Structure 1
Amino acid sequence: MQSAVSASRSILTSLHEVMAARTHAQAKLNQVVDIIGENLDSEVCSIYLLREGMLELFATRGLEQSAVHVTRLAIGEGLVGSIAANIEMLNLAEAAAHPDFSYRPETGEDKFHSFAGVPIVRLERAVGALVVQHVEPRRYEDVEIEALQTVAMVLSELISNADLIDEYDSFAASPQFVDPQQLHGLPLVKGLAAGHAVFHQPRITIEHVMAEDTEAERQRVYLAFDKMREQIDKMASQAEFGVGGEHEAVLETYKMFAYDEGWARRINEAIDSGLTAEAAIERVQQRTRMRMRQIDDALLAERMHDLEDLSNRLLRMVSGQVGTAATMGLRGDAILIARNLGPAELLEYDRRRLKGVILEEGSLTAHVVIVARAMGVPVLGRVQGLRGYLREGDEVLLDATQGIANVRPGPAVVEAFEARSAKNRERQAAYAALREVEPISKNGERVTIMINAGLRDDVPMLAATGADGIGLFRTEFQFLVSAALPQRERQTKLYRDVMEAAGDKPVVFRTIDIGGDKSLPYLRTDDDGQDDENPAMGWRALRLALEREGLMKAQARSLLEASAGRTLNVMFPMVSEVWEFDAAKAVFEGQLKFLKERRKMLPERIRYGAMLEVPALAEMLDVLAPKLSFLSIGTNDLTQFLFAADRANPKLAERYDWLSPAIMRFLRRVMRQLDGHQIDITVCGEMGGRRLEALALIGLGIRRLSITPASVGPIKEMVRQIDTREIASAMDRWLNEPVGDLRGAITSWAEERGLDLD
């Protein structure tokens, strides 16, 4: 049998004449099935196209002609429906043996046993199916399947450009793109948002599938490959840190695929068959997607995603469409749609118009989620098949609190959403009115409420919320959003800008907390190039910083220089033992001595603190306390360590309650151990930003909270409604004789006193 390339080329040459002819759409389709049938020596060749949400038999060679425009199958119904639903080919020696087989007597297909079909795809969605059948039971050879898949691409162009379905846009008008849709996902950053769908990487529409000049198309691909490889090499060589440029290991897989001769050869073969450069890349990419759906190995599937990303990059280069939606600018309120995002990519968008984000992937600890939370942008993640339900410009109502996105919503849904949004705005206005009001309880106790930050643009929220300061400035954000290790001068400028913007209000800088779930592409965190099997408890935060002495020295010097003439509050993350705190402090003292010898301006005062995240540190607080000016309790990590439950795991993320008696008792023990020490004790993290949880913390004696800016108003309001002595007495009672449902007990207590803790 002839090769896949020659078979495809022979068919495409004939199809070129059909496309150029001035004949009716039906006549063109009738010619197409005859050409394919003759070239593949196939007894049956049929074309099904999506119309009014159904797959309709539009043309056939071998089946009953009376079945044309009569036989219709729903998406997922029968073998043809299965091909369209799954966007994958079928190759069967005995069609009737397949569980999805559906017999249609009007077609007269009784005598045909073998069956092969491929989807006709446009913009990543199936708009039809191309099918061949034989009387003899046999599986089709790869040559035949390759030819069918190539021809299906040409049919996609015929459908879109040649009026083959009577000006009916089957792709756009299928029910999943017209009817209202409610999509469900994982709330990553809670909140409400409304806008129109904007794809982070707008789809590239392939206008021309069939090549006029094969050699010219080949040269276009060669140039695109050269440009792409140059970019990958540049990425790998940027910002070397340590001997040998350790970040290169992270890009190793990308480089392997970028220089893979097999990938380039397959694209060349597709061009040889008569496809344009864009169509050839898309043709190979379609085959990759089909293979990805059959892969169970998570690691291998992730590697295939890398190849998908590179294919998109190559397609954009060869087509000249290299920008994202950010570079083109948002024209109105937007809900950003993406498979995944990096933090730097998110920051490229206009914050005034970016209202929300929906991701096909994403996790609670992803870098982009950390940044989005700081930006106040709601994010919904893990929405499977996202692009299969909406189009660019569709209206989207995002409720990332309940984990729902309504696409093309009906009037009732819009009305309910607007009512909820209006209530939200009323609350926000009420909270804004508390900006200048101090959070003092009914019995006269002052609670210090600060904000968490990590970007220069977060600092204005101090004035907007009336917060008492920044209780946690995450210095790693600057590292996460950079393509290369930030220079010391850049770090110094950021820290100085933040302190100047904060004015008289204190800022607590946490030293860099990277590694684990916050890996940097340009900085490998281990020695052997292997991923950490347990990143949450792995080589990260202070452990990594003490090992990379150059990294910590640079940050220490930057913070000291930026704090000249001011008070520097510096905090070390993930301290497990007292010697780690001592070692980190020694790095700062060493840099302080270095600056003093060079007569540099120094901070007026340095206050050293630690984060209590590792339970082991609680056993050494009597030794550590005399060395501390302040202690911050990081409830996010502390909870997962206490329960041995990875918060990035969806099955465990919501399983263990912050208001568990185990956590509350642990925190009460910490408070009692530090009683009498002149130490500021702060709770940092999401726990302190939730009213019910904050109420419980106040009941334990905690009077300092560092929370997201959005939570400041609600917590202020709650503090002003309570008597701290009452909740303290109740908490002691509940913890001395633990109740089965502590959350329920606190909720009932609050309801009895008319507290709104929603």
Structure 2
Amino acid sequence: MASRAGAQAKLNQIVDVIGDKLNSEVCSIYLLREGMLELFATRGLNQAAVHVTRMAVGEGLVGTIAANIETLNLAEAAAHPDFAFFPETGEERFHSFAGVPIVRRARAVGVLGVQHVEPRRYEEVEIEALQTVAMVLSELIANADLIDEEDVLGADAHLTGHERIQGLTLVKGLASGVAVFHQPRVTIEHVVAEDTEAERQRVYLAFDKMREQIDRMASQAEFGMGGEHEEVLETYRMFAYDEGWSRRINEAIDSGLTAEAAIERVQQRTRMRMRQIDDPLLADRMHDLEDLSNRLLRIVSGQLGTAASLGLKGDAILIARNLGPAELLEYDRRRLKGVILEEGSLTAHVVIVARAMGVPVVGHIRGLRAKVREGDQLLLDGDQGVVDVRPAPTLVEAFEARFARNRERQALYAAMRDVEPVSADGQRVRVMINAGLRDDMPMLNLTGADGIGLFRTEFQFLVSATLPARERQTRLYRDVLDAAGDRPVVFRTVDIGGDKVLPYLRHNDGETEENPAMGWRALRVALERDGLLKVQARALLEAAGGRTLNVMFPMVTEPWEFDAARAVFESQLAFLKQQKKLLPDAIRYGAMLEVPALAEYLDVLAPRLSFLSIGTNDLTQFLFAADRANPKLAERYDWLSPAILRFLRRVVLAVAPFGTDVTVCGEMGGRRLEALALLGIGITRLSITPAAVGPIKELVRKVELPAIQAAMAGWLANPPADLRAEIAAWATAHGIDYD
């Protein structure tokens, strides 16, 4: 770096040094020129290929590294799906390959790669060395004008015209505004440290400042005290004080890097590990660490110009690869209308916070920066998981009209708050809501719902870094009951496993399940790890002292499972009685029918049940052997299929002689046409999302139950080719609007 040699000569020396130190026959440097990755220097490949071999971003392994700004480490390069062979290089005899991006201003401007004859994965310490060298190279090539600046700054000049992007709904809602990039990345101008101790002190001071910010933010969170958001921020604070993280940054400084470069190198290592993590909850925790790294980098560099600190100038849709909860809380809530994430998941901390803020979120949209420019107009449809970029005026008008209709409809439904859902022939239908957070409780009063038909207790477990203590569980359940007043709350015992993985609760054998949705989950976990259920049972019993406790067990398959779970509660009840604790006035035990096998036992189980809840989401996928998360199968089954409606009617008839309450929980009951069908098979208790309460109340008041029940009986006895169309036609004929 310090020599007076030209840039090309320096690159030639660098590939020799790296190849020698890593015992690699090949070391090559590719740089971005005129939009193509050009081989600039190599040890081991044909020298005639230098400045001749060129590939597009995204082409071959080198192009993939540049496109994704990610590291590859392969024992057998040719086995990778993106492998491409360039015969002029003479690389056919090399098997192993490792490559890291050379990054400038958050864009890949080149790739540093090594190859070896024998198949082997490079050690982690070797990959870290390559990442460090790539950072140094970024500074060298920028100063030597080896890359075109327009390749770095003008890559989005071609972005014109309308584009529709499909993503995943994380928080429902509609929003419009201009694109604002969160811009957590900082431009690192200097990589090599002149004074190691001075760099170390800069990091120490930055850590102190960052921790002060996190503590202040946690104390100022505007969601009330004791909510799940407080637990989220507590986990976030735990990362901020993690000694292992600061130690790794110190080690990077010891290798000769500046404070900024050291933080970036540790961050790169975190990103590599994130890509290897299959556990969604652990991946979310790694995103929190990424958020903190960005925050620390901004503090240490003095480059505090995030969109939040600069302030939003108008209605904005925030764009980020991912966000930490603290970063979202920094934004002006009056102007932040929506969020788009390249990554994100339904259980991510930022999504929990966004839901409480009422901000719609769409996630799982890769390569956003390649499709959207800062300031582009965006229409975000959180209901459908769709984003329209640079929409035409006609599309904007249609979206605004839909927005206005939504507001009018919501005003109409809000007026239904104090109106009871009584059918046109005078029958009372129970409309309840599903909940899972303390902050969901105000929706009871806002919607005028009859109670909570499903309180998902696992959310408290999912946002906690460790198993929630009994006292904390008791406090949550008591707060929920207090907020509900005299309206019933049905607590579902913890439903974890499947896609809801807890890092602190693993299989004994540590193996990954091939089909987790049908595996070790829900009541199966609770009965095997009975300490978990005992703690939760005691917490629920104590919280419900002096009141009625409604408790429901998920994924019951056979009657003995229900009996075993109930026995856990009864044993804890006996213990509390000995301790002279205040006990519930009554306990109502229920089961959730999600596994079709349970329907064959209802004559045995129903006499022991106070109520039965049907979980239509899981039940449907089990009946059709169709994973509801698989987009290829999403349209393969229909809730208005005669198969499902016949099954549900059989369940209703099976428990009718025992007087057991039957409730449908899930999305099916919140859709107007599906709710009409459920009323038609004799189901008069629904537990749905709060947003659906108004629409379903309005529907109920227009329906004469005997009429729809007679029609359904005829259709199910002799199913038409398209039952959905028949029900829709009946609704239209009777003046009933449907979705």
- Residue of structure 2 aligned with 1:398, choices 360, 380, 388: 380
Counterpart of 2:410? 428
Q: Distance in 2 between matches of 1:685 and 1:150?
A: 50
What pairs up with 1:116-515 in 2 under 5 angstroms? 121-126=103-108, 128=109, 149-150=134-135, 152-154=137-139, 158=143, 171=153, 174-175=156-157, 181-195=163-177, 202-213=184-195, 271=255, 276-279=258-261, 282=264, 317=296, 320=299, 335=317, 337-339=319-321, 355-361=337-343, 377-390=359-372, 396-407=378-389, 409=391, 411-515=393-497
- State the 1:338 CA deviation: 5.0
- Residue of structure 1 aligned with 2:630, choices 625, 649, 663: 649
Q: Distance in 2 between matches of 1:738 and 1:754?
A: 23
Counterpart of 1:627? 608
Where do 5+ consecutive residues of structure 1 fail to align? 1-10, 16-30, 61-71, 93-97, 102-110, 133-141, 229-250
Counterpart of 1:577? 558
Give secondary structure in 1 for the equivalent of 2:523. Answer: helix
- Contact persistence 1:682–1:704 (CA under 8 A): yes
Q: Distance in 1 between matches of 2:279 and 2:453?
A: 42
- Contact persistence 2:455–2:492 (CA under 8 A): yes
Q: Distance in 2 between matches of 1:317 and 1:495?
A: 37
- State the 1:403 CA deviation: 2.8
- Residue of structure 2 aligned with 1:531, choices 512, 520, 528: 512
- State the 1:707 CA deviation: 0.2
Give secondary structure in 1 for the equivalent of 2:570. Answer: helix
1:464-494 Cα offsets, whole Å, 9 max, x none, are 1111111111111222222222222222222
Q: Does 1:542 align with 2:527?
A: no
- State the 1:723 CA deviation: 2.2
Q: Distance in 2 between matches of 1:36 and 1:404?
A: 45
Counterpart of 2:725? 744
Q: Distance in 1 between matches of 2:523 and 2:14?
A: 67
Task: Report the TM-score, using the length of structure 1 for normalisation.
Answer: 0.71
Counterpart of 1:246? none
Give secondary structure in 2 for the equivalent of 1:417. Answer: helix
* Code of the aligned partner of 1:587: V
Q: Distance in 1 between matches of 2:60 and 2:174?
A: 41
- Contact persistence 1:691–1:718 (CA under 8 A): yes
Q: Distance in 2 between matches of 1:185 and 1:728?
A: 39
- State the 1:360 CA deviation: 2.9
Give secondary structure in 1 for the equivalent of 2:656. Answer: coil
* Code of the aligned partner of 2:413: Y
Q: Distance in 2 between matches of 1:370 and 1:288?
A: 23
Q: Distance in 1 between matches of 2:140 and 2:721?
A: 64
Residues 613 and 80 of structure 1, relative CA distance in 2, 3 Å threshold: closer
Residues 292 and 531 of structure 1, relative CA distance in 2, 3 Å threshold: closer
Give secondary structure in 1 for the equivalent of 2:633. Answer: helix
Counterpart of 2:677? 696
1:136-155 Cα offsets, whole Å, 9 max, x none, are xxxxxx99999994564115
1:134-177 Cα offsets, whole Å, 9 max, x none, are xxxxxxxx999999945641157549xx99989x7952662367
Which moves more between the two structures, 212-221 or 714-723? Answer: 212-221
Give secondary structure in 1 for the equivalent of 2:706. Answer: helix
What pairs up with 1:584-663 in 2 under 5 angstroms? 584-663=565-644
Q: Distance in 1 between matches of 2:191 and 2:728?
A: 63
* Code of the aligned partner of 2:684: R
Residues 214 and 452 of structure 1, relative CA distance in 2, 3 Å threshold: same
Give secondary structure in 1 for the equivalent of 2:604. Answer: helix
Residues 83 and 555 of structure 1, relative CA distance in 2, 3 Å threshold: closer
Task: Report the TM-score, using the length of structure 2 for normalisation.
Answer: 0.73
* Code of the aligned partner of 1:562: A
- State the 1:626 CA deviation: 1.3
Q: Distance in 2 between matches of 1:462 and 1:492?
A: 21
- Residue of structure 1 aligned with 2:501, choices 519, 530, 552: 519
Q: Distance in 1 between matches of 2:573 and 2:269?
A: 60
Identity over aligned pairs, percent: 63
- State the 1:450 CA deviation: 0.5
Counterpart of 1:733? 714
- Contact persistence 1:449–1:467 (CA under 8 A): yes
Q: Distance in 1 between matches of 2:583 and 2:573?
A: 8
Give the length in aligned residue pairs.
Answer: 658
- State the 1:197 CA deviation: 5.4
Q: Distance in 2 between matches of 1:591 and 1:617?
A: 26
Q: Distance in 2 between matches of 1:466 and 1:329?
A: 41
Q: Distance in 2 between matches of 1:526 and 1:45?
A: 45
Q: Distance in 2 between matches of 1:308 and 1:497?
A: 30
* Code of the aligned partner of 1:507: V
Give secondary structure in 2 for the equivalent of 1:676. Answer: helix
- State the 1:340 CA deviation: 5.6
Counterpart of 1:68? none
Give secondary structure in 2 for the equivalent of 1:746. Answer: helix
- Contact persistence 1:122–1:156 (CA under 8 A): no
Give secondary structure in 2 for the equivalent of 1:468. Answer: coil
Residues 145 and 464 of structure 1, relative CA distance in 2, 3 Å threshold: closer
* Code of the aligned partner of 1:154: E
Counterpart of 1:709? 690
1:408-427 Cα offsets, whole Å, 9 max, x none, are 55655433322221121111
Which moves more between the two structures, 484-493 or 746-755? Answer: 746-755
Residues 202 and 675 of structure 1, relative CA distance in 2, 3 Å threshold: same
Residues 595 and 757 of structure 1, relative CA distance in 2, 3 Å threshold: same
- State the 1:636 CA deviation: 1.0
Residues 570 and 283 of structure 1, relative CA distance in 2, 3 Å threshold: closer
Residues 444 and 320 of structure 1, relative CA distance in 2, 3 Å threshold: same
- State the 1:456 CA deviation: 1.3
1:492-521 Cα offsets, whole Å, 9 max, x none, are 222222122112211111112122222222
